[in-house]
Structure 1
């Protein structure tokens, strides 16, 4: 998200922007802007929360540029909104149409629990969108063409760290999938084979599920995981 907003400045040391952003975050954590909340959902990924006083200050400074959509539509005009977080439950599973009137929206985050969403047919029309987070949206298989359009426009760095397992759209975009750097989980099978990993420059952790679907030893060899030095081993 910080990269999408142009907040990551190169330090001239050939560090990846993601690594510089991690340094920023660790500094903020050290200064107690954030605190470690542990593994809150059993995913194995550490969560962090902002101190209440810092959160209140951030909301005040953000003003109308940032909204949280929870249990219905936001009451304010969305013309100035640049960042939106959407919290779903089973009583309000649909994306508020008012969000798509936010022409300057740059960040769109769906919080865990939105696996019931089947499609976002108008998201590709959000021309200013720079960061899309669909973490834990395992049911987004019908979004492949939409993701492809967003991917062509943005590259996958803006929607990395997603656990969405409908990833077949990536292999259909020549020369672009190597921009994906973080992929916590991948399911082998269907339109996605293990060989697909060979073209990715992945960092961090990777969980591969359904290895029983690997039919050819060449697929495993071409995945070339042993040479991916940036993966955690």
Structure 2
């Protein structure tokens, strides 16, 4: 990989992270000159990054008007979670099948950290650990195609995921669900891992429907 390719990927990642952090609001125009100054990159590199992010569904191109942050409706967020169900069930199933003793020890430690954060009511720490758990299960699955599709879907629905994470009482519901997924994977039970994953994601669909 050349330095130029690495620099381009880094720029794309930095703009992506800024969008996911809500540094830019939905429908906000993304001015190439402004982004060039902010990220100390050439306008050509910014233009390439915006094209890549448009392909991911985070940015939309406007005819003769440049680009803006794409807004994801609640209805679309629900559809994304419904698609995620099949992919995440697959990853959970594969993770349970592939789990090594070394990976099991690391996953068990992550389980304890999730339980501790939930017990403290540490919403920020808990949200970060949940993301770590999702990444770990995708890695353990070894399923490249499912992982690529999930990462794109998760990026598109990140704003709604953030909103749900801070919904009153959500941590008390989601923590046992996440722990159940990990326990099923640790037990090397693919069916239980898939079922626990579906149960958790169906709860997200239900909550999004209520918020709608």
Give the shorter-chain TM-score range: under 0.3
User: Higher strand share goes to which structure?
Assistant: 1
TM-score under structure 2 length normalisation: 0.25
User: Higher helix share goes to which structure?
Assistant: 2
Which structure is richer in relative contact order (CA contacts within 8 A, separation 6 or more)?
Answer: 2
